[in-house]
Amino acid sequence: MAIMNIDNNNTNHHNINNNNTNKTHILEVKDVSKIYGSLHALSDVNLTVEEGRWLSIMGPSGSGKTTLMNIIGCMDTPTCGSVHLDGQDITRLSLSELTKIRRDKIGLIFQQFHLVPYLTALENVMVAQYYHSMVDEKEALQALDRVGLAARAKHLPRQLSGGEQQRVCIARALINYPKLILADEPTGNLDEANEEMIMKLLHQLHEEGSTIIVVTHSPEVSQHAQTTVVLEYGKVARVVNNHID
């Protein structure tokens, strides 16, 4: 149950409203543009995501998906406009302040999994704990158990299949109880069976109340979300409500 306002124009708001305004806005993107030289990667993007919502961002290559995700994921700042995450203005923060926000509020899932190759599955989860606050092996093991990998905790990434690596990546993203889970093509490198398993996990997380934003090329992945935002040429082209809720 959430509210979502998607807008690419200040004067013309697209509102997707589930008639429940009790939930707080976890993310508010207002008039955000990102300009590289003469290239407008994003122009005047507006996006509001409420807590517990599952949103997918789709679009062809070069549509600005990655740029938007970098800004939402506190890895880049917009050229103009403002971004609020969990009530905090993150628009003009320094790199180190962004690092802190990223550490505390965001769980990242990557297409390439990005596990540290010389650390075991368990240690890969614990690395996120280490940078966040303190390591807790028991809790890390529980997180692996949750993604069905407790038995493979001591394996190195190269000893795990792609699907298993992605599940470790999810366990790592969850370990610090993030406000927002940001997934970049989470099934882009996986076969169908594994894709299904990962989507099932995301559903579970969503049901437990996690806010999820998935960036994807794939319409199949996208339709799992409550709402799909389609980007084209750096603007929000359309918003599709998938009528899941």
Partner 1 sequence: MVMNKNRRFITKTIFSSLIRRRSRIAVALLGITIGAAVLLGMVTLCYDIPRQMGQEFRSYGANMVFIPNNNQPTMTMPAIQAAVNLLPSEKVLGVTPFRYDAVRSNMQPYTIVGTDFSQVTKTSPYWQITGQFPTQAQQIMIGVDVANMAALKVGDKMMIAGKSKQGSRFEEEMTVTGIVKTGRSEDGFIFINLHDLSQLLEEDEQAEVVELSITASENELKQYIDTIKSNSTTIDPHLIKWVTQSETSVLGKLSSLLYLVTLVVLVLTMICVATTMMTVVMERRKEIGLKKAIGADNKSIAKEFLAEGLILGIVGGIIGAICGIIFAQVISTNVFGRSIMIEFYLIPLTIVISAVVTVVACLIPVKRAVEVKPALVLRGE
In angstroms, rounded to a whole number, what is the distance separating the alpha carbons of residues 238 and 241? 10
Cβ 30 vs Cβ 82: under 8 Å: yes
The DSSP-derived string for 27-58 is: EEEEEEEEEETTEEEEEEEEEEEETT-EEEEE
Binding partner 1 by CB under 8 A: which of 35, 93, 150, 156? 156
Nearer to partner 1, 126 or 143 (CB): 126
Report the site for partner 1 in 94-153 (rule: CB under 8 A): 96, 99-100, 102-104, 108, 110-112, 114, 116-119, 123, 126-128, 130-136
Minimum distance, C-beta of residue 156 to partner 1, in the bound complex (Å): 7
β-sheet with 14-17: strand ranges across? 14-17, 3-7, 39-50, 25-36, 80-85, 88-89
Minimum distance, C-beta of residue 146 to partner 1, in the bound complex (Å): 18
Binding partner 1 by CB under 8 A: which of 59, 64, 73, 163? 73
Interface mask toward partner 1 for 175-194; x: CB under 8 A: -x-------xx--x------
Binding partner 1 by CB under 8 A: which of 25, 172, 206, 235? 172
Nearer to partner 1, 11 or 117 (CB): 117
Interface mask toward partner 1 for 204-233; x: CB under 8 A: ------------------------------
With CA atoms as reference, report the closest residue to 51 among 27, 74, 18, 83: 27
Nearer to partner 1, 125 or 201 (CB): 125
For the stretch 19-38, what's the b/e string if a residue is b when 16 or more beta carbons lie within 10 angstroms of its beta carbon?
eeeeeebbbbbbbbbbeeee
Rg (CA), the chain: 18
The DSSP-derived string for 174-231 is: HTT--SEEEEESTTTT--HHHHHHHHHHHHHHHHTT-EEEEEES-HHHHTTSSEEEEE
In angstroms, rounded to a whole number, what is the distance separating the alpha carbons of residues 196 and 190? 9
Nearer to partner 1, 16 or 174 (CB): 174
Nearer to partner 1, 31 or 76 (CB): 76
Minimum distance, C-beta of residue 206 to partner 1, in the bound complex (Å): 21
Report the site for partner 1 in 2-61 (rule: CB under 8 A): none
Q: What is the DSSP letter of 128?
A: H
Tokens in use for 46? 């507006």
Residues that bind partner 1 (rule: CB under 8 A) add up to a total of 38
The site for partner 1 (CB under 8 A) is made up of 66, 69-70, 73, 75-76, 96, 99-100, 102-104, 108, 110-112, 114, 116-119, 123, 126-128, 130-136, 156, 172, 176, 184-185, 188
